[in-house]
Structure 1
Amino acid sequence: MDPHPLPPRPPAPTASQPAAAARRTGALPTALLRCSHPGAVLAVTVLTTVLAATGDHPARSSALVAAAVLSGQLSVGWSNDAHDAARDTAADRADKPVVAGDITARTLWTAAGTALAVCAVLSLACGTLAGTVHLLGVAGAWLYNLRLKSTVLSWLPYAVGFAALPAFVALAEPGGTTSAWWAVTAGALLGVAAHLADVLPDLRQDLAAGVRGLPQRMGARTTRALLPVPLVAATAVLAFGPPDVPGAAAVLAPPAAVALALGGLALGRRVRHAPFAGAVGVAVLAVGLLVTSGAGTG
């Protein structure tokens, strides 16, 4: 027997040891970005900022509106993935950073809570009434994440949240003005469409996981057929509601909305998020109508 045996070899590193932890720490910023639902965050923030910047907002006010909306949208995205972490893990959703081990639900809850606090401060800095309206929209989105996602009212927080955006922009202007009915109505319709388009790619997985919101109850075929309706309706409201929409824009906008909606659905069979991209395209068209009419949100 060897009187000087070699010491036992240390066990191989595991995911719980420092090397793996360091790897996950390095992936944290990317994981936070992915969990925020960046496409939706970018679309909502940019379009709302354009609406403010082309209205009666000075630069500082536009920046404040943009920051409030950005922080609110980040809080919504992070709370969504945090709340769904257990369900996504059970469903082995490898595309989710939480399931891949790049971030924990606890970290997401912390990020979501921090973003929500920042959103509250920035929103109220735009004015008490304006901030309250925006925070009601953000609260509706949180309620969707925590409670209404699996109910027949799953569309309602989207309608309320999107309707709140033009109202927030109008109320946050110097002097504060009430938002025009057509801006709020179009926002609500675009919100319903965004919900249908957002859910459509994951509808089968949602059903398997027990999520029973309105689109899941209707099924993929009905959801796909219904999606163009609120998109075209929102465009029609903005084409014929404001008094000074140029004639050519009023005539061309609804057919363009139909083309964008149907194009997104057609591409959706090959490109996962094409229906949502089509909905964003119609939202861009809607903001363009508001800007060209000179009516803005008020």
Structure 2
Amino acid sequence: MPSGSSESDKSAGQRHDRGQLGLDREVVGVQVSAPGSRTGPVRTAAALARATHLGPALAVTAVAVLLAVAADVGPGRAVLVGAAVLAGQAAIGWCNDWLDADRDRAVGRQDKPVVQGAVTPGALRAGTGVAVVLAVVLSLLLGVVPGVLLLVLVASGLAYDAGLKRTALSPLPYLTGFGALPAGVVAAAPGAPGAPWWLVAAGAALGGAAHVANVAPDVDDDLATGVRGLPHRIGAVPSAVAGALLLGVASLLLVLGPDGPPGALGWAACVLAAPAVVLAALAGSPRARRAAFPAVMLLTVLDVVLLLAGGAALT
């Protein structure tokens, strides 16, 4: 936090401890107006949608639905898979912005609806609770095995929000959650079949790559507010290289994992993966940090589309 010349800035600077994992609600650094004073129901709903981290939430949901189609889950259950995953992603996003409200204000994150004053932390807390209940109910409607596996993703994301992101174990929720996602989707098919090993491994690798790419743009803000996950500890460049390697491994698993030699679509996936891997490797550079995460998400969706088009057997 830059120091200012006013008495209030000096006081805030004296009270702000960068070594702590959280921030006192009184030390927020940025003043915002009450949400009700300048927003109506439509704007509040839009703010809540944005606070889910809408782009990633929709990308993960799209991947789940596409995998459900590829696994012959059936139209009705594929819709239920999408609803369960979307509810879980909403819970994770709202929980993140609720718990990080003070630190986001402290570093002036004006892209966050809670910092803009468009939604309150209390609303995000309530939304988190509702979304968790929905995710549990919708997931278990698919059956115990697929339900529990899908809820591993939700529990992993909430654990990350609640504190694991501040530790050397920060990649663990991404690895476990995104490894469990395809396993849960495939288990939703008749007979609750097990997902092929290469699909689970690819999901975990994509999760690890997404973690590095997601952290990269916010490294400075994180360090200023006491967040030191594994990428922060090992450095921007080494973590970016690791993320790129994981992304490349995931793409190769999706191409080479299915039975039989790769077809034209499989090799097309390798070609599409190349620029995304390069962007992921450049995530350690300030200029490329914000492009890495969208590239990882887009490549994930494209890989699954090509997997579906190639007719790979998932059950």
TM bin, normalised by shorter chain, reads 0.7 to 0.9
1:127 aligns with one of 143, 158, 167: 143
Q: Could you tell me whether the CA contact under 8 Å between 2:244 and 2:277 is conserved in 1?
A: yes
1:295 aligns with 2:312: yes
Larger of the two Rg values belongs to structure: 1
Unaligned runs of 5+ in 1: 1-13
1:161 aligns with one of 142, 160, 177: 177
1:273 aligns with 2:253: no
1:207 aligns with 2:220: no
Q: Could you tell me whether the CA contact under 8 Å between 1:170 and 1:178 is conserved in 2?
A: yes
1:254 aligns with 2:270: yes
**TM-score normalised by the chain length of structure 2:** 0.83
Q: Could you tell me whether the CA contact under 8 Å between 1:257 and 1:285 is conserved in 2?
A: no
Q: 1:238 to 1:39 in 2, by over 3 A?
A: same
Aligned partner letter, 2:293: F
Aligned length: 282
* Shift in Å, 1:251: 4.1
Q: Could you tell me whether the CA contact under 8 Å between 2:153 and 2:178 is conserved in 1?
A: yes
Q: CA RMSD in A?
A: 2.2
Q: 1:138 to 1:46 in 2, by over 3 A?
A: same
1:286 aligns with 2:303: yes
Measured in 1, the distance between the counterparts of 2:159 and 2:314 equals: 26
1:24 aligns with one of 39, 42, 47: 39
Per the alignment, residue 240 of structure 2 pairs with 224
Q: Could you tell me whether the CA contact under 8 Å between 1:51 and 1:296 is conserved in 2?
A: no
**DSSP 3-state at the match of 2:39:** helix
* Shift in Å, 1:92: 2.8
Q: Provide runs of 4+ in structure 1 moved above 6 Å.
A: none
Per the alignment, residue 10 of structure 1 pairs with none
Per the alignment, residue 191 of structure 1 pairs with 207
Which is bigger in relative contact order (C-alpha 8 A, separation at least 6)?
2
2:164 aligns with one of 142, 148, 173: 148
Measured in 1, the distance between the counterparts of 2:151 and 2:241 equals: 32
Per the alignment, residue 65 of structure 1 pairs with 81
Aligned partner letter, 2:38: R
Unaligned runs of 5+ in 2: 1-31
1:237 aligns with 2:253: yes
Q: Could you tell me whether the CA contact under 8 Å between 2:263 and 2:310 is conserved in 1?
A: no
The sequence identity of aligned pairs, in percent, is 41
* Shift in Å, 1:273: 3.1
Per the alignment, residue 51 of structure 1 pairs with 67
When structure 1 is superposed on structure 2, of 202-211 and 20-29 the one drifting more is: 20-29
**DSSP 3-state at the match of 1:177:** coil
**TM-score normalised by the chain length of structure 1:** 0.87
Q: Could you tell me whether the CA contact under 8 Å between 2:108 and 2:115 is conserved in 1?
A: yes
